[in-house]
Structure formats: structure tokens, C-alpha cells
Amino acid sequence: MGRVAAFWENTAQTPLQIVEDPFFIERGIKLYLKRDDLIHPQVSGNKWRKLKYNLFEAEKQGIKTLMTFGGAYSNHIAAVAAAGQATGFDTIGMIRGEELRADTNPTLRFASQCGMKLLFVSRKDYRNKEELAERHGAGCYIIPEGGSNTLAVKGVAEVVTEIQSQLRTPVDYLCTSLGTGGTAAGLLSASKAKVLVFPSLKIKVDEAKQMIFQHLSMSEAKAEIITDYHFGGYGKVTEELWQFIKTFEIQTHIPLEQVYTGKMMFGIYDLVKKGFFKRGQVIIAFHTGGLQGRAVF
């Protein structure tokens, strides 16, 4: 067995856990969390799913180095660094922000400790990733920002298969956060249920659909984009969001983080309050992980 197969095939199914909160019980709604935050200590959640077939492909092509892109706090950068180290690839991370250094924050420090070579580029240069890849990435396997591509969609689709084997009853809604759209695309590609997408950044419905459907050839009928829960934009946090995350964690003993999963869960609770879901409905929220980037508060 190759090192990539050894890494990806020795992982157990993640739990599908009911959220025990009287808030849902009183309203006759069942909410489950697909706990992909537990999938691997370093390559968490949707990043594990998205990288799987990309690393198989890189290995198949006999490529030794992975190159990818991300911001200073990118969970994707951390995941590529850790997965690359575990499976024997060299890794290069093109990081947005020329003022940064390998010890600027825990994410970059972690990536660097995993052996990732970090190249810091200006915001202007970062916009043209094709050119960066051409200039610095000769002979590398290029993984796009956030890891979203067709092979990522294939990996995320396996979450849906797993859920179907874990829960025999019909599901009404599958919920996910959105950053670059690959995760939402993967769920949509395989789900019978409607997919509710919660962008963690301030974008319009059409922009979110463009991000998702560039990876898919199917109608948009099953997707619903909920743009109200970005809390001011990507990486922005409010006191109300902190309070919600803290209360949820105390109530359920399930950790969230503030960039993606906290915003999605806030949105689900708020939609329940507004009567969006009907009594008797079953909702599954995809816990995409990302706890390495959870702020301490």
C-alpha cells in the first residue's frame, strides 16, 4: 500500500451525533451533527475529505511536491502541511501578506513545523495565482486555495454516503458552511436532501452559487444559500457570536470555532426560532472541523 492509501484508508467513520438541546426537542426538530472535526487530529474535517483524492492523484502522477495557497489563518494551509508530512510529500504554501513570517501565528508556525516551505507574497501578487504557480510551482502538484476542485468534490461526496449508512430515516436538510464552495458542491453532488449553505463571508446568493456550481453539472434546485450569518465578513466575530458559541459548547459538549461552524450553527438556531423548519423535520449539520483555528476567549 502506498503512503497516501495508508493514511486515508485507516480512518474510521466519524460519528453522527444528535444534538441534545431542549431547544430542538420542544420544537419537535431533530438536529444531528456529522462530526468530521473528529476525523484526524491535524487534518480535520472537510480538508481531510477534500485532500484525499488530490493526494492519490499526486502520488499516481509521481509528483513529490504539493503547492497550495492561503491566508495567514488558513485551515487548508495547516491541513496540507500536515497531510503532506504524513504521506511523504514536500509542501509549499504561498501565503497572502508579505509582512507575515513563519512565526507570526499558530497556524503558520504549525505549517512551518510540518516542514512546509512558506513563501509570503503581496496581496497584489496573490490575486494572480496562476502566475505564482507558474513562477514557483514547476513540477509541483497544484492544489487551489481552500482545496476546492473536482477531486475535492468527490471526496466530500463520501460524507453523504456515510451519513446514509448511519441514519436510515429520510433527511430534510443538510447544512454546511461555505468558504470557497467545494464542500457545498460535494454535498450537493450526492445528497437527496436539500442543502442549506451558510457563507462565512459577505457575499450575494449569485456569487455563492457561482463558487459552488463551477464544480458541478447539475441544476441549482437543491441548494439554498443563506447569506444572513456572515457577522460582518470573513473572519469577523461579534460578541453575540462568541456568546452563542460558548453557550452551545456548555450545553452540548461539542466544540465549534468562530470562522465557519459557529456561524452556521448560529444560523440554524436562528432559522429554527423564525419557524423556517417544520415540526418532525430532520436536519444534519456538517461539522467541518477547523478547531485548530479556534480562538481562545
75 or 189: CB nearest ligand PLP: 75
Least separation, in Å, of the C-beta of 92 and ligand PLP? 19
101 Cα distance to chain centroid: 25
Write out the three cell numbers for 25: 426537542
Cβ of residue 253: shortest distance to ligand PLP, in angstroms? 18
Q: Name 39's bridge partners.
A: none
Comparing CA positions, the residue from 281, 274, 278, 229 lying closest to residue 256 is 229
Q: With respect to ligand PLP, which residue has the nearer C-beta, 30 or 49?
A: 49
Residue with cell 504524513: 86
Closest to ligand PLP by CB, 27 or 209 = 209
Whole-number minimum distance, CB 81 to ligand PLP, in Å? 14
CB of 185: closest distance to ligand PLP in angstroms?
8
Question: Using CB atoms, what's the residue nearest to ligand PLP?
Answer: 290
Instruction: Confirm if 44 and 75 have CB atoms less than 8 A apart.
Output: yes
Residue with cell 497572502: 96
CB of 222 to ligand PLP, least distance (A): 17
What minimum distance in Å lies between the beta carbon of 169 and ligand PLP?
Answer: 26
Q: Which residues contact ligand PLP by CB under 6 A?
A: 45-47, 75-76, 146, 148, 177-184, 260-261, 288-290
Is the CB of 254 or the CB of 281 nearer to ligand PLP? 254
Closest to ligand PLP by CB, 45 vs 84, is 45
When the beta carbons of 137 and 199 are compared against ligand PLP, the nearer one is 199
Q: Residue 260's closest CA among 201, 204, 213, 184?
A: 201
Identity of residue 213: F
Question: What is the C-alpha R_g of the chain?
Answer: 19
The C-alpha atoms of residue 145 and residue 183 are separated, in whole angstroms, by 13
Spatial CA neighbour of 218 closest among 196, 191, 189, 176: 189
